[in-house]
Amino acid sequence: MTQKTYFAKKDGLEKKWYVVDATEKPVGRLAVEIARILSGKSKPTYTPHEDTGDYVVVINAEKVLLTGNKLNDKFYYRHTGYMGNLKKISAKDLLKTHPERLIKFAVHGMLPKGVLGRNMFRKLKVYRGAKHPHEAQKPQLLEL
């Protein structure tokens, strides 16, 4: 008797909500674990071509760690669309002004590219302080 391969269906999936406290956690290590949860690789029902992951709420984004000299040496680039207008911001300045973007950039790079990755990325919610507006979903605290 041959075994049949299990494929998760979109309608039969139950999405959970998790809260992750980013206080004193290195950005890369935090992003790896968040990406695993968003993609669903931590579940036994993981299917590569379906979005089987859960929602993740990250709090205290401003208290995240960057190891080594990354605060001064790491830069994030963006282009305005006009010639010669390549903008760059250091990780130190980005952490001061928009710490939630720092975590989002790290997680976005670890997710698949394309429609599937964009849908997974939409399930990530990052907030600066300890408060978040997702109490109604009853998220579970996740220790990483």
pLDDT category at 11 given cuts 50, 70, 90 is confident
> Which residue do the tokens 């979903």 mark?
137
Domains identified in the chain and CATH numbers: 17-142 (3.90.1180.10)
**For the chain, where are the E strands, in sequence order?**
17-21, 55-59, 75-79, 86-90, 124-126, 140-142
Query: Residue 127 has what pLDDT?
Result: 98
pLDDT tens-digit map of 42-97: 999 899 999 999 999 999 999 999 999 999 999 999 999 999 999 999 999 999 99
Q: How far is CA 87 from the centre of its chain?
A: 23
Q: Is 68 left (phi over 0), alpha (psi -120 to 50) or beta?
A: left
Dihedral, 132, 90, 24, 120 alpha carbons, nearest 10? 50
Confidence of residue 6 (pLDDT cuts 50, 70, 90): confident
Given a cut of 80, whether residue 1 has pLDDT beyond it is no
For residue 17, list its beta bridge partners. 55
pTM above 0.85, yes or no: yes
Cα distance between residue 133 and residue 46, in whole Å = 28
Q: What is the pLDDT of residue 113?
A: 96
Give the helix ranges, DSSP H, for 13-142.
Answer: 27-39, 70-73, 91-97, 99-108, 115-121
Q: Quick one: average pLDDT of 102-118?
A: 97
- What is the pLDDT, as a whole number, of residue 8? 87
Both tokens assigned to 79: 């282009």
**Residue 111 has what pLDDT?**
97
pLDDT interval class at 138 (50, 70, 90): very high
pLDDT digits (tens, 9 = 90+) for 34-47: 999 999 999 998 99
